[in-house]
Structure formats: C-alpha cells, structure tokens
Amino acid sequence: MTRKTILALLLAAIPLVASAQNIRVFPEHWWAGMQTNQLQLILRGSDSLFGKGTVSTAYPGVEIRKVTAFSNGRYLAVDITLDKGVQPGAVPLMHVRNGRKTTVYWPVKARKGMPGKDFARGISGADLIYLLMPDRFANGDPSNDRVPGMRDQSLDRSDYYARHGGDFAGVIRHLDYLRELGVTALWMTPVMENDMPNRTEHGYAITDHYRIDARYGGNEGYKRLRDSLQARGMKLVQDAVYNHTGTYHVIVSDLPEQDWLNQWPSFTGTSAREQALFDPYASANDKKRMTDGWFVKEMPDWNQRNPYVANFITQNAIWYVEEFGVDAIRLDTYMYNDLAFANACNVALLREYPSISLFGEVMVQHSPNQAFFAENHIATAFKSNLPAVLDFTALFNGIFPALAQEPGWYTGIVHLYNAMAHDFLYRQPEKNVILLDNHDLPRFFTRMEGNVARQKMAYTWLLTARGIPQMYYGSEVLMAGDTKPDGLVRLDFPGGWPGDAKNAFSGEGLTAAEKSMQDLVKKLGTYRKTSPALQSGKFMQYTPQDGLYIYFRYTDGQTVMCAMNTTKAPRRVDIPYLSERTGGFTKARNVIDGVEHSLQDAIVIPAQEMWVLELK
C-alpha cells in the first residue's frame, strides 16, 4: 500500500465520537491546503456541563485561538487555524473538565481533485440543467425505501405527500437518457437528511447538514452519483437551503443559544413582500417581517446575523462543495436570507471556488424586484453580489403571456420582447437561469391547457434564448399537473418504477404527441451541444410584428435565427428588415427538420410554430 492509502484507511477507522463523552464536531472534517483555513468548530457533548471544560490540541500546524461557551452547557465553539503547511491526519481535540480527559479525533484530509477542473466547474449557456425530485424520478434500490429509525416510514405511490422510493441508484441508471436529451447538468431538490415526521419528499426541511438522506443512498450513494455524472462529462448542481431548516434539526432541537433562530412570541410567517427590502418608504417592521418571518411552522428561520450561525452555514456550504464535488449551487429562497450574510457567504464560496456558479431563487413578479437580488445596474443602498438568479420574470412576464394571450399592442408576444429588454438591469444577464416550470409551479403544459404546439414553442425558446436553460423532469413528455394540490406537479416520472404502464425512458406507452415532444427536446438539446451561437453567442431581438417574434444568437462563426409565430395564421419573415444579421447569408437550414431554405425566397413560418434556422 502507498502512504496515502494507509493514511486514508487510518482516517476511516478513527471514530469522531469519543467513548467517554459523546462529542460531535461540526464541520465533521476539513482539508489541508484550503483557502478557508480559519474555522469555527462547534462541539456538542452529551452532558450539560460539557461547556465548562477546556479544549486543546498538540497537532503540528493546528492552532486553537479561542474557546467559547454557550448558555446551553452541551456546546463549545472552538476557533482554530490550519497552517498552510498542515499535513493530513487525525487532529486530537482534548476536552478536559475536572481532571477528566476525553479526546475526539477530527480528520484533516488531503484534497481530491482540482477546483475549477475536476469539480466546482460552474455552469454556463453551454449547459442544459435537468431538475428532478429524487424521490419521484426512479427507484433503483428498493432496500432503502424505508430506513429503520427515521420518523417518516410512509411508502405509498398513490399518496402525493408520502415517500415513493426514488433514489440515487435510480438516477444513475437513467443518466444516459438525460444525456440523450442534451442534458449536461443535474439539479436535484435537496438531498440532505430530512428526518421529519411527514412531507419529507421535497427535502427542504433539513435535519442534519452533514448527512445525505439514507433513503436516497446516503453520503456514499451521493458520491457514486457524482462519479457517474463526471464519467459522462456531466455536472452536479446543489440545491442549498440557508434561510431555514427543519424543526427536528440536530442543533435546532437543542439550541446553543435562543438567538440562533429568529424568535417571535408566536409563529410569525414571512410577509413574502420583497419590496420592503428596497422600498425607500418601507417601515422597519415590514423589513423585519420579510426577512425574519418563518417560511412555515416546520421550518425554523436561522438568525444569520448571529456570527456563530453565519459561520455554521458558510462552513457547511464550503464543506459540501469539497466533500461532494458539486459544480454549481442553486440558492433556495434567496430573498428571505439576511442580505448582508448572503453577500458574505457568496464571497467565501467564490474565494474558495472562483469558477463555481451561484444562482438564487427569487420568485417575484417584476424585473426590477428580481434584479435587485443579483449583480445589477440599479442605484440602491444595498448592492447584491449574487452573480445570477432563476429568471422567473422571463417566465411570468415573458414566455407565459406570450403564448397564453392573443397578440396585440400590449398583449401576447410583446411581453417576451419586453422581458428580454429588461436585461439592461443586470450586469450579467447571460448567467440567469431560464425555466418554464419547477416543483413549486404548475406544469407549463397545464398552463397551456394541453396545447402541444404552444409547449413545443416554449421549449424551442427555452433551448435557444439567452441564459442557462433549466427543464423540469417529465415536461419533455408532456407531464401535466397543477399546484392545487401541489403534489400534482410532483408526480412520478413514467417508467421509473417496475410495472409502470408508460415508460418515458424506453418510449413504451408514450402517445404520438408525447414522443414528438421528447424528440424535439432531444433534437434541440443535442444541437445546442455543438452550437457556439446558442452556447455563448450574443443576443439580438427584433420588435414583434403581427405576432411574429424574431431573435438571433450569433458569434463570429455562426448565426442562428429563431422565429416564433404565436398567431393562428402563417407569417412571412421580412428578410430585408433583418439585414443587420442576415446580410452576407444566402441560405438557412431548419435545425429541427433539416430542410434548407433560400433567403432570396419567401420564408413563411406556419401558425403556432417556432423555427430555428442556422444561416449559411
């Protein structure tokens, strides 16, 4: 064996929990050679006098700077520094109280891989993100459907809110299907442990930040999924939840101090009125209610102004990237976080991982409101450093009304034109993630009232517009569902369970419309993998004329024209009017059907269709 192998075996054999006094350390381990080398460990002991003790170490390259006790005597905060030259090994943390010594061994590991090259690579317009709920995608290992000792023992596919048994093994089994769609990045709803009594299928009530849910396959299963993605050249996106946690969280159930949470005399929910954060006329009470109000009763709200809480969350964010090799982070409920904390956490992550991508969930109705939470050109007292957001306004105020309304001066396709024009608000609009639906919204196909033509236009826009496209599992085969009840938008992917009558992976049982939709996504998803114009090209749009909307994606070497006809009659493309982008070209090949057209002849877009034309 090599020295490195022997060291790894020794580290694996060393228990984090000492026998005489059960001690847990957060974060559970760290790595040598990190930029982030000043840490604040939270130690939790098993008795109420643990905090009366001292903590010391004699490990070379590790210095304990400060030890702080809390009113809850089971906790200590230990501020340490890891020298740049510290060697991997098991750091003995010696706890002494009344002459009784207990030693817990805290691992410092060797880093695996190079950030920016092997992981933390970031995402861009060259990527296509696939969002899925692991419990609802595919069951690859029935042995973990129920895990003894966990509070939620439900397993009933007929119940929207029970667990259905999907897991990492099921996802791994179907990664090649995703790749056939053109998918390059996988985003799953949170996979950290959710040991709550019920409604654990969504994952947003975290109960342990250092455990991946065993019902999905645990920490090792998650690493197998990461390895399977990397072997296919695909990326992993984490769904991170900083704002709140679950009521059964290992720390929340026994708080070090009461001010670790935003406390109220009785349950007080957030107002969800983001305007209070930038409104020049807003009251202090409205600001507090927006930020400090709880999301729901089952999800306590972290007090991120508490420096110990801020350190706990930030260190875990970095630990998670390093431990599991994620490439990008979707930041849940971003606008409900304390904004100063959010900026500081972003700085810490980008300092450690300069290439990683961060994009926040800011589900609002208006472009200025959304842009406020990202890097922007708006003159406000607070300036966000978040590189990008999920572009809900392009959905709510753009593609949805564009296809749902009849075209007019103020209606229909002009809304999408306007939404794209609002990009002047952002510093880097091309980093925004565009979408049609997700686990919190009605399926787009449902919003289109089952109109297949409109669904196809929407997906053609999604896969050709500026930004990073994100599709929601099953929408490529016309899955439908509304949010009342919300379980209808979280149904099982067809074919993910043995015996399913319909199998979208193999095509068995799909209707002609479903197969046609899936084929369109595959065609465009595959094309954009080799299209520099769609991956990183500039964006130019033309004012809609009679319900016909045309935009271009272009580089020095490739020009792609996208023409969307939202009307119920054919529309002719005015090529001379588009000469700024069409000049010098004579032909246009339809990317979807392969037919070539002459630019000297009339190009007519049929009713309710969108063409993607590569100019030659």
Provide the residue type at 255 as one letter: L
List C-alpha distances in Å: 563 to 65, 433, 611. 63, 21, 5
Active-site annotation holder among 141, 301, 332, 338 = 332
Provide the residue type at 548 as one letter: L
List C-alpha distances in Å: 103 to 15, 22, 58, 93, 96. 10, 10, 12, 6, 9
CB-based contacts of 456: which residues, under 8 Å, 6+ apart?
A: 516, 517, 520, 609, 610
Edge-to-edge order in the sheet of strand 609-615: 538-541, 548-554, 559-565, 609-615, 587-590, 596-598
Dist CA 206 CA 305 (whole Å): 20
Assign 3-state DSSP to the chain and report helix, strand, coil percentages, each to 5: 30, 25, 45
| CB contact at 8 A, 533 and 615 | no
| CB contact at 8 A, 604 and 567 | no
Active-site annotation holder among 327, 338, 361, 514 = 361
User: Taking the alpha carbons of 309, 310, 311, 313 in that order, is the dihedral positive or negative?
Assistant: positive
CB-based contacts of 304: which residues, under 8 Å, 6+ apart?
A: 242, 310, 313, 337, 338, 341, 342
Helix axes 339-352, 307-324, angle to 10 degrees: 30
Residue 378: which H helix or E strand, with range? none
469: Cα separation from own chain's centroid? 12
Tokens representing 410 are 């103020």
Provide the residue type at 78 as one letter: V
| CB contact at 8 A, 168 and 221 | yes
Dist CA 281 CA 348 (whole Å): 32
CB-based contacts of 213: which residues, under 8 Å, 6+ apart?
A: 191, 192, 193, 194, 203
546 is catalytic: no
Question: Which backbone phi and psi does 166 adopt, to 5 degrees?
Answer: -65, 155
Dist CA 54 CA 76 (whole Å): 9
327 is catalytic: no
522: Cα separation from own chain's centroid? 23
**Catalytic residue ranges:** 332, 361
